[in-house]
Amino acid sequence: MARDERGVTAQSEDFAAWYNEVVFKAGLVDRGPAKGTMVIRPYGYRLWELLQSEIDGRIKATGHENAYFPLLIPESYLSREAEHVEGFSPELAVVTHAGGKELEEALVVRPTSETIIGEMMAKWISSHRDLPLLLNQWANVVRWELRPRMFLRTTEFLWQEGHTAHIDEGDARRETMLALDLYHEVARDLAAMPVVAGEKTPGERFAGAVATFTIEAMMRDGRALQSGTSHYMGTNFATAFDIRFTGESGREELCHTTSWGMSTRMIGGIVMTHGDDKGLVFPPRLAPHQVVIVPITRGGSAAVEEAAQQLAQRLRAAGVRTHVDARPQLTPGFKYNDWEMRGVPIRLELGPRDLEAGTAMMVKRLGDEGKQAVAIDSLPTVLPGILDEFQEYLLARATKFRDEHTRVVDTWDEFAAAVSTGWALALHCGTPACEDDIKAVTAATPRCIPLEGDPTAGACVRCGAASAYGKRVIFGRAY
């Protein structure tokens, strides 16, 4: 198996092994003591903080308010919405003993919060004047994963979950699409991930939802990653938890509710969308360090170290997240490789000769330019633009990769070939049995019915029955 000098498996040899190695070697994560749990290390958590801050600002700008709800949920709450509890039962962690004795009612460790929030909504809503109720929670959730993978599927993970209640279906569906659009923008503009927005098929819907919408991204091995979802619940949870309001007519009515979420799985998505055989490649807008300065002192040069710190201060003042790697025990070469592994967009090398010339050597994480001498005095002015160009380059590169690995197919042989390396755009009958058959043969599932796409009629690529959706469905193998 091919490895580079740092022992990272090449993506072309074993993408799964590459991913597992790079998230550990780059210092993003470590394994927790309980099976399937993860410790997010400071470097990885800083990326999450940046993403979290951006999402939180966008959520609040649309009028939503943050709240917090209990981690432990009475088991009876989940059973009120039958489809919901059936969908989550295999993943539940349940507390049966506490305080040295058996509990009268078991408590479920939060897998998601529709039930507990529905209970509170029923207490807080009485009139149409209380609507819409727009809530968001930042929390951890627990889902017992049989095959955990860091960031992508872990027993415990972090996320935000929006929960809202509305007067009617129209208002609730507008909310559902507002959240989907927010996720689409975050993925595209911050993570440089060119996602496709669409609706899930009935067989792929969130348990208890009337309609589920998703953004799907293609990773560099051709697999899909569900990167954010938004659900229109209809009155299902309002019926189960008696969430009612008195309308202007004086008649009592059920609320229409929504829920939507994005999680730390996005970190895994960023790694797999942009990384290469050298390690991580971070989009500048989410990189913990956008620029790392490596002073080259060759035995010690206070002037170089001082100049590096001064430059860092000027870059920070210009809004550039900058780190100075002054570790004395490590060689410059080791530091170069280390920061390549850790995905820093731009590295600046500064030695005595550079200082005399008034320049620093700039190296981009990707590109063919090699080392470039840049005037130190110009760096606070030019680097923000260079970082923006790097961000745009990553989005364009990922978009090109996705488009090159997406095929329009009309026959089963074409379908099987397409999903072996990427996505297939195919007509489908919409029946869960046919979806199951496709998955059993190819491991591919319907990722979404794209919101954009030309109307197309015809026969299902697998069973030959009439297409159910009037357009092509994206199929692919997924994480």
Placement of tokens 């819409």 in the chain: 132
Q: Of 190-199, 253-262, 324-333, give the lowest mean pLDDT range.
A: 324-333
Please compute the mean of the pLDDT values over residues 423-450 and round it to a whole number.
97
In a domain, residue 213? The reply is yes
Show the CA angle centred on residue 259, arms to residues 225 and 78, nearest 5°. Answer: 100
Q: Which domain holds residue 46?
A: 15-274
CA 202 to CA 225: how far, in whole Å? 19
Q: Are residues 76 and 118 in the same domain?
A: yes
Q: Are residues 128 and 251 in the same domain?
A: yes
Closest CA to 183 of 66, 265, 87, 65: 265
Q: Are residues 253 and 198 in the same domain?
A: yes
* 3-state percent breakdown (helix, strand, coil) of the chain, nearest 5: 40, 30, 35
What does pTM read for this prediction?
0.95
Per DSSP, 187 falls in state: I
Residue 62 scores a pLDDT above 50:
yes
Q: Are residues 22 and 90 in the same domain?
A: yes
The pLDDT, as a whole number, for residue 160 is: 98
Q: Are residues 337 and 260 in the same domain?
A: no
Percent of the chain with pLDDT over 70: 98
Q: What is the tally of helices (H) and strands (E) in the chain? A: 14, 25
The pLDDT, as a whole number, for residue 282 is: 98
Instruction: Pick the more confident residue, 79 or 379.
Output: 379
Contacts of 453 (CB under 8 A, 6+ apart): 471, 472
Omega of the bond prior to 202 within 30 degrees of 0, cis?
A: no
In a domain, residue 346? The reply is yes
In a domain, residue 224? The reply is yes
In a domain, residue 450? The reply is yes
Residue 82 scores a pLDDT above 90:
no
Chain-centre distance for alpha carbon 235: 28
Residue 300 scores a pLDDT above 80:
no
In a domain, residue 256? The reply is yes
390-407 residue pLDDT tens: 999 999 999 999 999 999
In a domain, residue 6? The reply is no
The pLDDT, as a whole number, for residue 2 is: 47
Q: Are residues 22 and 91 in the same domain?
A: yes
pLDDT grade for 251, boundaries at 50, 70 and 90: very high
CA 41 to CA 290: how far, in whole Å? 18
In a domain, residue 392? The reply is no
21-56 residue pLDDT tens: 999 999 999 999 999 999 999 999 999 999 999 999
113-129 residue pLDDT tens: 999 999 999 999 999 99
The pLDDT, as a whole number, for residue 4 is: 47
64-76 residue pLDDT tens: 999 999 999 999 9
Q: Are residues 247 and 319 in the same domain?
A: no
Which tokens belong to 261?
């979420």
Strands 445-450 and 196-199, bridge-based pairing: antiparallel
Cα torsion 34, 36, 37, 40: sign: positive
Residue 1 scores a pLDDT above 60:
no
Residue 317 scores a pLDDT above 70:
yes
Q: Rounded mean pLDDT of the chain? A: 95
Number of domains the chain contains: 3
Q: Are residues 28 and 63 in the same domain?
A: yes
Cβ atoms 191, 269 nearer than 8 A = yes
460-479 residue pLDDT tens: 999 999 999 999 999 999 99
Residue 6 scores a pLDDT above 60:
no
In a domain, residue 1? The reply is no
Q: Are residues 427 and 351 in the same domain?
A: no
Rounded to the nearest 10 degrees, the angle between the axes of helix 265-274 and helix 42-61 is 110
CA 252 to CA 125: how far, in whole Å? 12
Q: Are residues 30 and 84 in the same domain?
A: yes
Instruction: Pick the more confident residue, 415 or 301.
Output: 415
336-371 residue pLDDT tens: 999 999 999 999 999 999 999 999 999 999 988 889
Q: Are residues 350 and 433 in the same domain?
A: no
Q: Are residues 59 and 169 in the same domain?
A: yes
